[in-house]
Chains A and B, each alone.
Chain A
């Protein structure tokens, strides 16, 4: 698997990159995930606002609702939930697509035509995930903060200035950068695991429709678990 990633990165660094494929994959991984991200983001923020309000209310410190919502979104929830959502929505489809190309010998056909399958299939996915994940995470964070604002300020009566002012006091550039690094690494994980499972469908999981379905399941489970485990290590390294 490491060799697979090394090979993909190697082809990323050497031009030419297939720009039209890249744009298509960004459209698929990024743009089409936007609705899911907007929905999950706003409800995650709203639930954080609600839960946080009742917890902080006991100590009489509702003023810290803003920092609490913003920090947990930016540092943990944003990157992780975005990663899991993209895995489920786009990663599974990528595995299935590449897997079906493998079992119907289309990848061998590409090689015969002199097209490098890495350059044509893997590299656009890897780059698209690297571009799309941080942007989706940023959208998730902002939408979540707005969700927390709706619940905390509009429904539960925290001051609007308090919410945003305290937030600006406590959020640092290093925390935004931490979230960004996390989402970049999750992008690599998703593209790597899902492409790998698809690419070696026939060899590891058997040919036929069953092989593709098994590869897709494995890809989603494995990259979700890897995201959560890697998130723990990233957090422990960065503190």
Chain B
């Protein structure tokens, strides 16, 4: 009985610890257990200005995917997006890089288009809008170029 108690409590302890670890990594850090569900599309930007891998992709403010990779292609930033399954993007959808609040983190907003054609998995979003350079805007405003 004594030995049984010992092993039971050790088992309970390990179970509790693993549950907590799972909570931290799956709920908070958004670890994907079953690999990436969904499909990938990519887009070319002239300036990603601080966009990070793992940043959110939203449509109408709703989270629909994440940024997978950011690489260089022909002196432009190639951003690979993972879009959730079942969500179709039209050929003329626009991907733009936005900032949360004034100094918040960057994310990608997709504005749906009206075309009949759908972007296939692995396809490309043609219309993109680079990150807004706030300092440049302010200097343009200050020196009266607008």
- State the A residues within 8 Å of B (CB): 23-24, 26-27, 30-31, 34, 70, 74, 131-132, 134-136, 138-139, 141-142, 167-169, 171-173, 175-176, 180
Contacts and interface: CB of A to CB of B under 8 A. Distances in A.
A31 B16 CA distance: 10
Interface of B is mostly: helix
B13 A138 contact: no
24 contacts: A23-B6, A30-B13, A30-B14, A30-B17, A31-B9, A34-B13, A34-B16, A70-B28, A74-B24, A132-B13, A134-B17, A135-B16, A136-B17, A138-B20, A138-B21, A138-B24, A139-B16, A141-B24, A142-B24, A168-B27, A169-B56, A172-B29, A172-B54, A176-B28
B30 A173 contact: yes
Interface in B1-60: 6-7, 9-10, 12-14, 16-18, 20-21, 23-25, 27-31, 54, 56
Nearest to B30: A168
Contacts of B6: 23-24, 27
Given A30-B13, A172-B54, A141 B29 contact: no
A97 B9 CA distance: 22
Nearest to B107: A169
Contact of B21 (A23, A70, A135, A169): A135
Q: Could you say which of A138, A141, A176 has the most chain B C-beta atoms within 10 Å of its C-beta?
A: A138
Interface of B: 6-7, 9-10, 12-14, 16-18, 20-21, 23-25, 27-31, 54, 56, 105
A141 B54 CA distance: 23
B98 to A, nearest CB: 15
Contact of A176 (B9, B24, B105): B24
B80 to A, nearest CB: 18
Nearest to A67: B28
Given A139-B16, A171-B28, 9 more contacts: A31-B10, A135-B17, A138-B18, A138-B20, A139-B20, A141-B24, A142-B24, A168-B27, A172-B54
Nearest to A20: B3
Contacts of A173: 25, 29-31
